[in-house]
Chains A and B, each alone.
Chain A
């Protein structure tokens, strides 16, 4: 019986200044299974995984691999124990090629100083072939998509002969199609006897691949469930500690005048002849496959990028959005897709991050209005339920989902007319998602307009009044009546 257990975590606790991230966590990973960790943002999932991978060290407790207590002081120790990890925020050297990344730090050498590139190429080819991946060894990583790079990371793990693979939210930034290939890869690895710890906020995905599910709440293990003996509602209830009803709290609102209109927006080779409008009180969705040009179009409307031709109107008046400042001044706000790139200033405090777009207000008249700033921020944080030890904490030490909430708070503080949201609930737990939907609803209720890009169709269909569908840089259709939204029709427009 006992030799069925690949790894066990016993009584692990871990504190950071001001937070107890993990509090007596226990769980067992069985050989050849997929073990899913579930929990709200900040529950401690990533922290636990970083301990297993030797990036953080537990204050108390022990880790047991193959029946032996092991000390994991750093990632090299972890690898020697057969543990590999794919991070929530991918890390790689983007200027290097596939093969260089694969053998980084463990070069095959000809002699004491020279690297045997030929052998490395051969090995890489063999590995790629074995795993059935159609890439070339000399592809530079920067030219590969996130999902391809993930596959490379898996390849790396395999080449280390890893027996335990940790994946922290691997599907939060890849397309649905890529999710499919990832899942079949995971199933294949499992059938080869690999044990996998998998973290995700997406319930449908969890229930497809899990064998066992362990639930963390506030740093404590609540329970471990067998997939076959539980259901989504039970898991959610255990996660958030209460029953959650009506995931999409959509209120039908009075739709007002047109607030935002885009005509013939074109950027050579990226998007073409984009026409759409948004009315007051309306939530307008944008569906499409990854690469359909939705993000590019919206980034342009927010001034992050330029366009060749076309007109933008706000309240029926033509406006210019040559840069972000103009967009904000005109009353446009945007929660961008790439949080690490356009969203956060990692080393600065949560407060500074939250007020970054409203500095003029808090420094009006040439002096700082500290109390106003703190009061406003505390209020929005309460609304979006940001979990942070203090307002002074650097945003990088918040959990991924909480960082996203701070970004959301930043734009809610802005009092804008139109809010563009590109994958606003990425990496956010189910409970908090609902709260965010409610906030989006409130925003619309105040007569503002919302544009929402999402790759989760249920989310779009649950929240939007209208849905535009894009394909290869063009709008190919618009679903006007929320009573008869259908996934099939959206997919039709998206691929037709």
Chain B
């Protein structure tokens, strides 16, 4: 009797923390494969590199949970980056850069949101259109040329550290905590999951479905704008061709992190771990020196495997008793 209960709890524990376990196993394997892996500078560097993805992945998590998605995130990073840099050249202040990038990204997301809510365009199509629009605008206004002129204060965002920790990690962590708070402790959070889980039932319980979707896109815009500024600072310039297909990396991270593409399920912490898993994976392959084309193949295989493992585990949980 006692025995049974214990083992049941253990299996619950394993399935609850399956992602953390994958991450730890991966880190152990990586540190055996390469002794440099577990050094603090390397780890911090990976997290720093992942900051932009994590912010986009958090946005993707919210949108997918609400039954939407954003295929334009990468292009919007590029567009808001270059517009922000133009503004920064006129008013050289890091806050101007942030604010302009955020406003541009929110504006783009509002357009997507209006297409989705007012004209009932499927999010896939609406944001695909937005992807082309944003990328096209970024290329048009720059004439396809990279912009320079990142000043010292702006460069500090993505290139420097405070107390040994890269500044972008602080920014990422603050927004991560904000998203945790949003999903767990606010009406908005509950509403996002309800809308993604069953739109009609959410409406039938008095939730303003359209408003929730619009707000979710706006929040995604905010996260994308911040990501754009960090990106701008890290690459030290405005790149109209940059951040290609970042939206897919973001979605992969959040899906690996347990977000369900059918909507209604997703968490900020899962997304964070998912992003780490993907980030460390890339890192170790670079450290061990795997051919970059092969890296891509390996990434696909391992990501597919992680998701299958997760699904298999979840199914086992419902179909078989916790033996």
Contact = CB atoms under 8 A, between A and B. Distances in A.
A and B interact physically:
yes
Interface in B185-210: 185-187, 190-191, 193-194, 197-198, 200-208
Interface stretch (B33-41, B165-173, B245-253, B313-321): B313-321
Contacts of A360: 187
A57 B319 contact: yes
Contact of A15 (B187, B203, B321): B321
A405 to B, nearest CB: 16
Contacts of B194: 345, 348, 352, 356
A57 B319 CA distance: 7
Contact of A356 (B190, B200, B262): B190
B265 interface: yes
A328 B197 contact: no
Interface in A54-109: 56-57, 59
A323 B319 CA distance: 40
A347 interface: yes
Contacts of B207: 325, 356, 359
A347 B260 contact: yes
Contacts of A59: 320-321
A359 B8 contact: no
B122 interface: no
A345 B197 contact: yes
A391 interface: no
B264 interface: yes
Most chain A CB within 10 A, of B198, B205, B207, is at B205
A489 to B, nearest CB: 34
A16 B206 contact: no
A341 interface: yes
Contacts of A149: none
Given A17-B317, A57-B319, A359-B190, A410 B205 contact: yes
A342 B187 CA distance: 20
Interface string B6-20: 001000100000000
B202 A345 contact: yes
A397 interface: yes
Nearest to A328: B206
Contact of A324 (B197, B205, B318, B322): B205
A105 to B, nearest CB: 21
Given A17-B12, A348-B194, A348-B264, A356 B205 contact: yes
A130 interface: no
A14 B321 contact: yes
Contacts of A355: 190
Contact of A57 (B193, B201, B320): B320
Contacts of A359: 187, 190-191, 207
A345 B193 contact: yes
B184 interface: yes
Given A328-B206, A348-B193, A367-B185, A16 B321 contact: yes
A360 B201 CA distance: 17
A243 interface: no
A331 B70 CA distance: 37
A304 interface: yes
B206 A324 contact: yes
A342 B204 contact: yes
A56 B197 contact: no
Contacts of A135: none
A368 interface: yes
Interface residues of A, number: 36
A449 B176 CA distance: 47
Contact of A368 (B185, B198, B260): B185
Nearest to A299: B204
Interface in A369-408: 397
A453 interface: no
Most chain A CB within 10 A, of B187, B193, B198, B204, is at B204
Contacts of A117: none
Nearest to A326: B206
A343 interface: yes
Interface string B290-323: 0000000000000000000000000001111110
Interface in B24-57: none
A126 to B, nearest CB: 38
A368 B318 CA distance: 30
Most chain B CB within 10 A, of A17, A366, A410, is at A17
A14 B321 CA distance: 7
A352 B321 contact: no
A439 interface: no
A353 B123 CA distance: 25
A397 B317 CA distance: 12
Given A15-B321, A348-B264, A359-B191, A343 B204 contact: yes
A250 B198 CA distance: 36
Nearest to A368: B185
A324 B201 contact: no
Contacts of A328: 206
B186 A363 contact: yes
A344 interface: yes
Contacts of B318: 16, 397
A57 B320 CA distance: 7
Nearest to A342: B204
B212 to A, nearest CB: 11
B321 A345 contact: no
A158 interface: no
B302 to A, nearest CB: 26
Contacts of B202: 345, 356
A355 B190 CA distance: 10
Contacts of B186: 363, 366, 368
A336 B193 contact: no
A27 B132 CA distance: 63
Nearest to A366: B186
A346 interface: yes
CB-based closest 8 A-B pairs: A345-B197, A342-B204, A15-B321, A356-B205, A328-B206, A347-B264, A368-B185, A357-B205
Given A15-B321, A341-B198, A356-B207, 19 more contacts: A15-B322, A16-B318, A16-B321, A17-B8, A59-B320, A302-B204, A304-B203, A324-B204, A324-B205, A325-B208, A336-B204, A346-B198, A347-B263, A347-B265, A356-B194, A356-B205, A359-B207, A363-B187, A367-B185
10 contacts: A15-B321, A56-B319, A345-B264, A347-B264, A348-B193, A352-B194, A356-B194, A367-B185, A397-B318, A410-B205
Interface of A: 14-17, 56-57, 59, 302, 304, 323-325, 327-328, 334, 336, 341-348, 352, 355-357, 359-360, 363, 366-368, 397, 410
